[in-house]
Amino acid sequence: MKMNFSRVMRLMTLRFRDRQAIVNVERGRSYSYHDYHLLTNRIADALRNALGVGKGDKFLLILENDNLSLMMLPTVLKQEGAVVMTNLRDAPEEHARQIDLVRPKVVFIETRLLDGYYAMLRAAGCEIVVMDDPTPDQAARPGVHAFWSLVDAASELDADVELDDDEHIFMLRFTGGTTGQGKCAMYSIDNLMACRDGGFGNPDFGFNGHTRMLHVAPLSHGTLIAFIPTFYAGGANITLNQLDLEQWRQTVEQQRVTHSFLVPTVLYRLLELQRANPRDFSSLNTVIYGAAPMSPAKLEDLITCFGPIFAQGYAATEVPMFVSALDKAEHETARTTGGIQHLSSAGRPTPGVEVYVTDAHGKPLPTGQCGEIRIRSRAIIKGYYNNAETTAAEFADGAWKSGDLGYIDEDGYLYIVDRLKDMIISGGFNVYAIEVEAALASHPAVMMSAVVGIPHPEWGEAVHAEVVLRPGASVEAAELIAHAKEKLGSYKAPKSIVFVEQLPTSVVGKVLRRAVKEKYWQDMQRKVS
């Protein structure tokens, strides 16, 4: 099916005309739906005409959230090029690898990064667009364009661009790479529409015209799945460019934020701040968490502090929608009826999404048995760019093989036990890092932890934990080990614990277990996983 997105947004503008669509807090910008439509028309026109981006071409973004909000939906659907999303916080070497893979015609970049990136981008044959005003010396360099000059010279008229919603690859995006080097995922427009429908298919998230969604995680990655339903509902997407929790708390108050998305590691820190110095969060009715597991004990602390505002969403780069959800009411029911185990689940699959569990050979397993989680839905990506071998390995029969170990219980709740690559095999027993981390987190002194397998001459791997304590808290390693033994039994409990000030995290806030593990396996020829 073909669609003209300029026409689609024109109709949305007639409906939502003067409502705020975009608020860029740090740049002090605000656009109504009417102004947002005309602005994105101009940006798309500049891509087509001034920059010469056409069908089959790519343009790559190395941008903060403020500028990403102008360059993604709806801009990308008003022209024929494919947008390449990167993460601003990735290292320049990683960006160079990504550019070498996708060969973009144009790169949009924050002006402050131009000097460090210029030589590499020009060597790759890229035209460069800087988002804030360049200095005279920067503007005089060959191949450098000023974003707002391009926009001011472009047409605001609706474009006659029609795109096939299934065949057109409108976006490329790199996976997080928490278990290795990131892959480049390819998205159709229908993948985007499935993302929208997944937001509306979970009504407890409450995406509507009154939604004021605050984005602090990179829009290029996980929080994109909240941007899209907010936009289609006529709500306001509000952006911050970096994770400063005091600024986040201030923005919630000042902007009367109703929704936000935060990863568990950030929520743990927010909990400590709110306990020490409470802010007015009366407008905040939904905090979606995901991207990493949350311990039931920490969830109880969060609900006690903030109220019943938490909902969980399970998604992935390869399935950009709410695959499953644990809504706010289910959080409260689990606490009050003794069904506390449901707090450790990823909720129940979104209606219309097929989630099933298989053995190592792809054979479906019965309810309650643990295996690899596989997913079928309209959101499943088109594969990995220029990587047919990995695409063939990770997709089968229309399903994505998630690499997550889990099971579905008799009530339909999906439990993610661990990543296949994070499972520890100790003395012939399978130990799941997530389960051990949850046990450690139930101790009142623990803020967060990372559990890995480390070399052991007899067992192959021994369970080891690096632990971050709450501010002002203290506990002995032996006490924590005993606590874990009481919760899990002896063979699953850590055999050793190291206390650390912080854990390595990805640019989106996930704890990088592989970075912890690599320290202990550096001199080993065989890395057990």
The CATH code of the domain that includes 445 is 3.30.300.30
Q: How many CB atoms lie within 10 A of CB 521?
A: 18
Full residue range of the structural domain in which residue 66 is found: 2-16+34-187
Of residues 427 and 69, more confidence is placed in 69
Report if residue 339 sits inside a domain. Answer: no
Report if residue 270 sits inside a domain. Answer: no
Give the tens place of pLDDT for each residue, 470-481.
Answer: 999 999 999 999
Please tell me whether residue 273 adopts helix, strand or coil conformation.
helix
Give the tens place of pLDDT for each residue, 158-211.
Answer: 999 999 999 999 999 998 654 446 799 999 999 999 999 999 999 999 999 999
Measured distance CA(13)–CA(19) in Å, rounded: 9
Measured distance CA(241)–CA(215) in Å, rounded: 8
pLDDT of residue 457: 73
pTM: 0.85
Give the tens place of pLDDT for each residue, 388-413.
Answer: 999 999 999 999 999 889 999 999 99
Domain boundary among 143, 160, 187: 187
Domain boundary among 172, 187, 202: 187
pLDDT of residue 335: 65
**String of DSSP letters for 146-197:** EHHHHHHHS--SPP---EETTT-EEEEEE---TTSS--EEEEEHHHHHHHHH
- Contacts (Cβ under 8 Å, ≥6 apart) of 20: 30, 31, 32, 236
Report if residue 170 sits inside a domain. Answer: yes
Average pLDDT, the chain: 92
pLDDT of residue 338: 58
Report if residue 232 sits inside a domain. Answer: no
How does DSSP classify residue 482?
H
The answer to whether residue 527 scores a pLDDT higher than 70 is: no
pLDDT of residue 514: 82
Give the tens place of pLDDT for each residue, 105-137.
Answer: 999 999 999 999 999 999 999 999 999 999 999
- Contacts (Cβ under 8 Å, ≥6 apart) of 366: none
Strands 2-3 and 163-164: antiparallel
Determine the average pLDDT of the residues in 375-383: 98
Helix (H) or strand (E) holding 96: helix 92-102
Q: What is the CATH number of the domain that holds 11?
A: 3.40.50.980
Report if residue 66 sits inside a domain. Answer: yes
Residues in the chain: 529
- Contacts (Cβ under 8 Å, ≥6 apart) of 180: 514
pLDDT of residue 458: 65
Quote the tokens at residue 397: 């029969």
pLDDT of residue 178: 45
Report if residue 67 sits inside a domain. Answer: yes
Domain boundary among 155, 172, 187: 187
Give the tens place of pLDDT for each residue, 14-40.
Answer: 999 999 999 999 999 999 999 999 999
pLDDT of residue 435: 84
Q: How many domains does the chain have?
A: 2
pLDDT of residue 333: 75
Q: How far is CA 444 from CA 469, 471, 473, 483, 510, in A?
A: 9, 11, 8, 11, 22
- Tell me if 464 sits within 8 A of 496, measured CB to CB: yes
> Of the spans 137-141, 426-430, 504-508, which averages the highest pLDDT?
137-141
Please tell me whether residue 439 adopts helix, strand or coil conformation.
helix
Helix (H) or strand (E) holding 390: helix 388-394
Give me the residues paired with residue 373 across strands. 357
> Of the spans 222-226, 288-292, 455-459, which averages the highest pLDDT?
222-226
Determine the average pLDDT of the residues in 435-447: 92
Measured distance CA(489)–CA(487) in Å, rounded: 6
pLDDT of residue 393: 94
Strands 423-426 and 414-419: unpaired
Determine the average pLDDT of the residues in 340-351: 88
Give the pLDDT band (50/70/90) at residue 525.
very low
Report if residue 336 sits inside a domain. Answer: no
Report if residue 93 sits inside a domain. Answer: yes
